[in-house]
Copies of this chain bind each other. A is one copy, B any other.
């Protein structure tokens, strides 16, 4: 209830602060009998790890995950899976100059207002570092979904600042530090280099897609598949907007264009983004998110201190100039957690999950 557990039936309780001894999560509700080792989880953690290129924070964390419970002889037992990640490089001293000052666009102001506590250590609990345990939990969900339904989750960067990235192929995504689906990222590198030198930051747009999603997932009124996706995505640090399918472009569409025709071999288009009436159609789930520019920048900003006096603030810590760069595996993980939770919810009430259709193919794509 205090906002640290994600999901209902595949429930992930997250704990830790960026500068405490460790972070982690407890997954409750994982079906028993799945093969699981740390290696199954480490891959996605490495994808979001800091320190991997000069365009992301230089904090150096191995982010090695340890399974504390819920797995016996290499198989999930159905009991809680506790995952622990030690913090090894928490240089709190870098934050010395912002101890008494609020950063514009940062959560330190609202945390102080809510709890009456000032925890200046790199954002404490509001740090994007806390997405690491979610990526770990998402890896468990991804594995189960892939084994059971062949569901796959992919993401890529589609815009950075005012620069559109374009889409060539999913194959390029792992070959560059931006998760860009293009072969040549030199323009991106130049853009980010100029930004970094200027001591400023920019936003990004990320696209996430789930394919092989069973049909019929999602609840009718409130825990709709798209509502839960919006909740999951907007909850990622720095996200300010979420679209499903045609998204904001659907405003200007006519109903005769927007509604995806059904044919005997599947839908003819996917403006719906894989969701109708909150329930999955079996087509790809198509999600797009807007990520705001990082608030921790070298450019001096007007602000106030905890006493309310005017001051200027500069953040010297090791921060991402575009926090969106590392957001792709996070968004994939959150999407996987949403789908996983809805599979279990669907099983509870309806008893079976379809990957093929009862009457017609869900998708021709």
Contacts and interface: CB of A to CB of B under 8 A. Distances in A.
A204 interface: yes
Given A104-B259, A278-B235, A80 B15 contact: yes
Interface string A7-22: 0110101111100111
A95 to B, nearest CB: 13
A179 to B, nearest CB: 15
A150 interface: no
Interface in A87-119: 102-117, 119
Contact of A357 (B113, B248, B346): B113
A305 to B, nearest CB: 9
A281 interface: yes
Nearest to A66: B21
Nearest to A246: B240
A347 B156 CA distance: 35
Size category, A interface: 35 or more
A244 interface: yes
Interface in A273-321: 273, 275-282, 290-295, 297, 299, 301-304, 306-310
A238 to B, nearest CB: 9
Contact of A350 (B20, B32, B246, B310): B32
A25 to B, nearest CB: 9
A296 to B, nearest CB: 8
Nearest to A13: B13
A3 B293 contact: no
With a 10 A CB-CB cut-off, give which of A70, A220, A232, A303 has the most chain B CB atoms: A220
Given A4-B219, A16-B82, A293-B258, A276 B69 contact: no
Contacts of A135: none
A80 B130 CA distance: 12
A295 B255 contact: yes
A34 to B, nearest CB: 11
Nearest to A25: B26
Interface string A50-92: 0000000000000000001110100101111110000000000
A307 B360 CA distance: 7
Interface in A152-205: 159, 161-162, 200-205
B79 A124 contact: yes
B9 A255 contact: no
Given A31-B350, A77-B125, A5 B1 contact: no
Contacts of A358: 112-113, 116
A347 B110 CA distance: 16
Given A107-B276, A240-B243, A290-B250, A78 B114 contact: yes
A80 B250 contact: no
Given A2-B349, A248-B290, A279 B110 contact: yes
In order of increasing CB-CB distance, the 9 nearest A-B pairs are: A107-B277, A3-B219, A105-B259, A201-B255, A104-B259, A231-B231, A110-B279, A230-B234, A227-B235
Given A3-B223, A226-B239, 6 more contacts: A72-B124, A200-B256, A250-B290, A256-B299, A258-B295, A347-B348
17 contacts: A1-B223, A3-B220, A5-B5, A5-B28, A23-B69, A106-B277, A110-B276, A113-B282, A113-B357, A114-B215, A162-B252, A202-B253, A223-B235, A224-B234, A240-B247, A243-B290, A250-B290
